[in-house]
Amino acid sequence: MAIQILGTTALVTGANRGIGRALVDALLERGAAKVYATARRPEALADLAARFGDRVVPLRLDVTQPDDIRAVADRATDVRLLINNAGALAKLGGEFTDKGWIQAARDEFEVNVLGAWALTQALAPVLQQKPGATVANISSVAGLAAFPSGASYSASKAALRSLTQSTRAMLGPHGVNVAGVYPGPIDTDMARPFEMAKTSPSAAANAILDGIEAGQEDIFPDPMAKQAGALFMRDPKALEQQFAATVAVEDS
């Protein structure tokens, strides 16, 4: 049973900017009863609380901190929709032998993979009690095939895709839907170094929610994502070769 946004309670990580903030807006505009909007600095969410009143509950959450995760799980006992959106991009560009890749990977995996895993674990007992409960993990087209200029980030998003599949297999029998979301370039701070056509966060957020309400397991919320997803389903090696041929982005 797919979830309906109207009247539901959601939790969005990384809600202070980019896709996360757009998701909070879109959820509330579609009639979500409550959205727990989390960020490392919840004061950055004050304007959302001012606009939407007690339908927005700002919470402090650094997904790499177990104490934060426990506090959020203790508070958000009515969640039916969890969107793991918090993400980190620590390095762009560099030769394969650049030692900086390893530390970047540690930082990115902590947020992009382990943070999402830990929060989902903490909220799983709650979600399993809610009919139509859904987990949506925001991965990337870089999780389908690697961009060499973002080698460590791509690896983390591929790991999140694998985690999404495992979560689906393990929580699905308990009535929890699990979706993987694979955006292309979205017009956010994180995508600023990339010179290409970008989709607005609002358009991406609404496409993500459309996919969640439709019960889709793989959501491609923008034109590039749709093209990459179709090619991946048809010929994964061709997508790998296409992404490998992209021009490397200089270190910012």
Angle subtended at Cα 81 by Cα 79 and Cα 87, rounded to the nearest 5 degrees: 110
From 153, 182, 232, 243, active-site residue: 153
Which residues, in sequence order, are CB contacts of 210 under 8 Å at separation 6+? none
User: How many other CB atoms are there within 10 angstroms of residue 197's CB atom?
Assistant: 11
Six-digit token string for 28: 């509330």
Expressed in percent and rounded to 5, the helix, strand and coil fractions of the chain are 50, 15, 35
Six-digit token string for 178: 């699990």
Look up residue 115 and give its DSSP letter. Answer: I
182 is catalytic: no
Which residues, in sequence order, are CB contacts of 145 under 8 Å at separation 6+? 154, 228, 232, 236, 239, 240, 242, 243, 244
CA–CA dist 185, 202 (Å, integer): 13
Beta strands in the chain (DSSP E): 9-12, 34-39, 56-60, 81-84, 134-138, 177-181, 218-219
CA–CA dist 231, 176 (Å, integer): 28
- CA 166 to each of CA 174, 175, 252: distance values in angstroms, whole numbers, following the listed order: 13, 15, 34
Catalytic residues: 153
